[in-house]
Amino acid sequence: MKEMSAKERVNSFVPRVCIFGGKAFATYIQAKRIVKFITDVAATVNHDPDIGDLLKVNFSFLLLFCHL
């Protein structure tokens, strides 16, 4: 995606959003590492001037579920 020209990217890719979410104990070290990894990837992808308009990454810290 980065190696393509701007015109090729616009013509070849549909804009996408990747949403991550989860729940774990606050003391679970591996979960903290995964959350940090996802947020670091999100910051890199979302602020990239070449692909920032075509791909967004989001990690939701608060998930609300409603049981009907």
At 7-29, the pLDDT tens digits run: 887 788 888 888 887 777 777 88
| Separation of alpha carbons 4 and 23, rounded Å | 37
Q: Which residue has the higher pLDDT, 4 or 43?
A: 43
Can you give the pLDDT at residue 58?
84
Prediction pTM value: 0.67
**Bridge partner list, 20:** 59
Sign of CA dihedral 17, 23, 61, 32: negative
- Could you tell me the pLDDT band of residue 49, with boundaries at 50, 70 and 90? confident
Q: Running DSSP on this structure, what letter comes out for residue 55?
A: E
